[in-house]
Amino acid sequence: MPEATWTAVDRYLDDMLVGPDPALQAALQASTEAGLPAINVSPLQGKMLHLLARMCGARAILEIGTLGGYSTIWLGRALPADGRLVTLEIDPKHAAVARANIARAGLAHRVDVRLGAALDALPRLAAEAPFDLFFIDADKASIPAYFQWALRLSRPGSVIVVDNVVREGAVIEADSRDASVQGVRRLNELLAAQPCVSATTIQTVGVKGYDGFALALVISAYDHDE
Ligand code: SAH
Ligand code: DHB
Ligand code: MG
């Protein structure tokens, strides 16, 4: 199946189900103009995140990997008036572009962009836990560590979404020397072994190529001594 078909179908579905959205389009334009890479989720994936957040009634969301705030805006819009979203970003330029995009989308009061390495910020989030929904979308080698932090900051019923876990099929290459591939392989081992979560992974194609996302539900309390 040629990539041209994936893209055409994505554009058709985007037209039908998402449509023009000034704040999101402005966010992408500002991100492009600032030289950020176009590695945000697609419009249809962003709406999926938004619907997931609404389906689980999320009031507290933690995102790891902000970029220009495109996925952040989709998630932030799903929150109730007193909801909160914390998003972690290591790159000062990305964080600055994201803050401006989030403010333009009218979400500055609900969204907190925290600048710094996620692994430094995560241990300091205990006072703000539990989070209802996690979106893990930063450096892929650290996915296993981010997943374990998400568990520590979760409650039974929390939902954990991890982006980019199929990697054009490279996820099945056991001997891969790509740290991102090894990161998602280790995630799958954790998901398979961890009794407190139930998980699946969905492969995706579209304007962002061939990849996939993992979806995990925390089904029982995480043992914090682990
Ligand atoms: N979620 C965004 C895309 C994120 S791209 C969207 O869909 O719109 C990944 C982001 O993670 C980049 O901005 C990158 O700078 C950031 N990142 C990479 N390593 C990080 C780390 N160790 N801590 C926090 N952020 C990190
Ligand atoms: C990259 C990161 C992402 O989160 C993504 O969705 C696509 C690509 C990257 O680092 O190349
Ligand atoms: Mg991603």
What is the secondary structure of 33-93 as a DSSP string?
HTT--S-SPPHHHHHHHHHHHHHTT-SEEEEE--TTSHHHHHHHTTS-TT-EEEEEES-HH
DSSP 35-50: T--S-SPPHHHHHHHH
β pairing state of 159-163 and 211-218:
antiparallel
Tell whether the model's pLDDT for residue 218 goes beyond 70: yes
Does residue 21 have a pLDDT over 90? yes
Q: Mutate which of 41, 42, 45, 164 to test ligand 2's pocket (most atoms within 8 Å of Cβ)?
A: 164
Give the model's confidence band at 226: pLDDT under 50 very low, under 70 low, under 90 confident, else very high.
Answer: low
> Is the whole model's pTM more than 0.85, yes or no?
yes
Q: Which residues surround ligand 3, an ion (CB under 5 A)?
A: 137, 163-164
What are the pLDDT digits (tens) for 79-118?
999 999 999 999 999 999 999 999 999 999 999 999 999 9
* pLDDT over 90 (residue 74): yes
Band the pLDDT of 224: cuts 50, 70, 90.
Answer: confident
Return the pLDDT at 23: 98
Say what the pLDDT of residue 1 is: 60
| Ligand 2 pocket by Cβ (under 6 Å) | 39, 137, 163-164
Hunting for tokens 């980019």 — which residue is that? 164
Name the amino acid, one letter, at 92. P
Does the pLDDT at position 2 exceed 80? Answer: no
Q: Return the pLDDT at 222.
A: 86
| Ligand number nearest to the C-alpha of 39 | 2
User: pLDDT of 113-145, one tens digit each?
Assistant: 999 999 999 999 999 999 999 999 999 999 999
